[in-house]
Amino acid sequence: MKRKVFLAVAVLGAVAYAGISFSNDEPRPERRVAPSGVLSVTVTTPHEERVVERIGATGTLVPREDVAVVAEVANARILSVSAEVGDHVRKGDTLAALDTEGVRLQVAQMEAEYAKARDEFARVDSIRDTGAVSKGLVTEKKNAVDAIKAKLEEARLAMRRTVVTAPESGILFERRATVGGLANTSEALFRIARNGEIEAELRVPENSANRVSPMAAVSLSIAGMPGPMPGTVRLVSPRIDASDRAAAVRVSIPGKDGLKVGGYVHGDIALTTVTAPAVPVTAIQRDAAGTFVWTVGAEGRIARHPVTLLLQNDDVALVAGVTPELRVVARAGSLVRSGDVVKLVEAR
């Protein structure tokens, strides 16, 4: 029984094989299998963009014009102080009063000497026509009167100067005068920001200072102030400071209250405006031969395309040497090589 079953199965298998082998004489089409492991890259096309090149610099807030108030009477004791830091003062306002005792004695002495000299001149002048005195003596006495009168006027001026007044209107931002101290003619008792004008002084490195122009726009970030503030370059110093190899750039801040002298400030200064084809910064590649981007041809094949980098700003790079028709690899550029076949993903 088992032998008959085995023979039947063998016959059926032979028939099936013959049917498969001889039922169709035409060759069957070959099935193509997509290659596995092909890298997907994001591509974009260059587009023209206008970008303002900027340079960042830090600095401090300073008075536009710093007015130093010094005592004009040496070694006079300070009796009182009438102004405090932060006060708005007007030209001529009393800031401090100095001891007048020494100056008063000097004025009294000069007045006595002047009266004596005047009387002597009057006496000789009254008899000069009689020939009792020489013309030289009359001239001498007249000169003595003039000299002592000048000293008297100087002493009276010193008397008035014992009252220290504001030479200009503005905000008093520094006070060194203390009651009981001695006034020094070489040291400022007060400092005033003339007309209350405060501006930024930025320190720009010497390799960029020549590119900064007056009236250039500046975006300022000031400590304690919400959000950026607009400013304008007022002047660029022609001097490079040897201590930090930088030039001072003064930036005007229009109509802003609450600024504090000495406050920290960061500024982005506009240098030039560049209009050129733009690609993502991530598309820029570099090697020993220079700067380039990867492009993708019609068959999805990678090719090296040299470019010249004109400006890089945040996530955008402006370059020369590309056209709007190119498909540039925006990302994954470090993973491909020239001649690779890739799958394209259009950038959004």
Place of tokens 């000097």: 106
The encoded tokens of residue 50 equal: 């206008």
In sequence order, the 6+-apart residues with CB closer than 8 A to the CB of 70 are 184, 185, 186, 187, 188, 189
**pLDDT higher at 189 or 32:** 189
CB 173 within 8 A of CB 195: no
CA dihedral for 270, 273, 278, 284, sign (positive or negative): negative
Average pLDDT, the chain: 85
Q: Kindly report, residue by residue over 200-252, the tens digit of the pLDDT.
A: 999 999 999 999 999 999 999 998 888 899 999 999 999 999 999 999 999 99
Instruction: Classify residue 75 by its DSSP letter.
Output: T
Q: How confident is the model at residue 38 (pLDDT cuts 50, 70, 90)?
A: confident
How far, in Å, are 33, 138, 282 from residue 315 at the CA level?
39, 91, 8
In sequence order, the 6+-apart residues with CB closer than 8 A to the CB of 222 are 61, 200, 229, 259, 263, 264, 265
pLDDT over 70 at 6, yes or no? no
**pLDDT higher at 32 or 329:** 329
The encoded tokens of residue 225 equal: 């102030």
Listed residue (197, 200, 221, 242) closest to 65, CA to CA: 197
pLDDT over 60 at 51, yes or no? yes
Listed residue (91, 261, 258) closest to 175, CA to CA: 261
Q: Is 110 helix (H, G, I), strand (E, B) or coil?
A: helix
pLDDT of residue 34: 35
Q: Please report which helix (H) or strand (E) contains residue 296, including its range.
A: strand 290-296
Q: How confident is the model at residue 111 (pLDDT cuts 50, 70, 90)?
A: confident
Q: For residues 232 and 228, give the distance between their C-alpha atoms in angstroms, rounded to a whole number.
A: 13
The encoded tokens of residue 167 equal: 């030479």
CB 95 within 8 A of CB 189: yes
Q: For residues 129 and 125, give the distance between their C-alpha atoms in angstroms, rounded to a whole number.
A: 8
Residue 251 identity (one-letter amino acid) = V
Largest Cα–Cα distance of the chain, in whole Å? 186
pTM, two decimals, is 0.65
